[in-house]
Amino acid sequence: MRHVFNREHIKHKMGWLMNTDTAIELCRSSGWLALTLSGPALLVAIGIGLVIGLLQAMTQLQDQSLTFVPKLIAMTCVILLLLPWGLGLLTEYTADLIRRIPHRI
């Protein structure tokens, strides 16, 4: 007779299934980290887009590359300036995640 394994049997025998609270907390913390890391570059892009949009409206210049190139340069500068901080946050999050593996299963 063949034994059919269900989730509860696997959870009881192996102890490796994650509960929903843990999964939700991991998704929440990784989402917050993604917003924290991408926020400064996105805010700079929004600010520069707004300023250039106002300048285009006042001067009636409607060139698409006029908005793209300054945003690209500013976002690159912000990312390069904040790279050590971002890598520190990412390293800290990853180390904390790995450190908590035994407690999460």
Largest CA distance in the chain: 82
**By three-state DSSP, how is residue 45 classified?**
helix
Query: What is the C-alpha separation between 86 and 82, in angstroms, rounded?
Result: 6
Answer whether residue 97 is part of any domain: yes
Could you list the residue range(s) of the whole structural domain that residue 49 is in?
A: 7-104
Answer whether residue 2 is part of any domain: no
**By three-state DSSP, how is residue 40 classified?**
helix
Answer whether residue 51 is part of any domain: yes
Answer whether residue 70 is part of any domain: yes
pLDDT in tens, the chain (105 residues): 455 555 555 454 555 567 788 889 889 999 999 999 999 999 999 999 999 989 888 888 877 778 888 899 999 999 999 999 999 999 999 999 888 887 756
Answer whether residue 1 is part of any domain: no
pTM of the model: 0.69
The count of structural domains within the chain is: 1
Answer whether residue 80 is part of any domain: yes
